[in-house]
Amino acid sequence: MAMRVETNPLEMAYAVLLEHGLEGAGEALRILVNEAAKIERSQFLGAAPYERSERRRDYANGYKPKTVL
């Protein structure tokens, strides 16, 4: 059976900062902004990812990873 491992984005951001110092600030910020976007998406839709709900407003097909320079 496959086991889903939950990772805490805040802990990941801390780990990057501890490992790379201020050089890792960009990566830590990327992690936090991506998590904020996921939370905003769930709030707009009215349901968490993979969740069925009566109050769900719309559907999302996922997203493509991209880097903004």
Domain residue ranges in the chain: 9-45
Confidence of residue 66 (pLDDT cuts 50, 70, 90): confident
What is the pLDDT, as a whole number, of residue 29? 94
59: left (phi over 0), alpha (psi -120 to 50) or beta: beta
Asked if 20 and 27 count as a contact pair (C-beta separation under 8 A), the reply is: yes
What is the pLDDT, as a whole number, of residue 3? 67
Instruction: Round to whole Å and give the CA distance between 55 and 4.
Output: 26
Average pLDDT over residues 7-26: 92
Quote the pTM value. 0.72
What is the dihedral sign for C-alpha 37, 43, 44, 48? positive
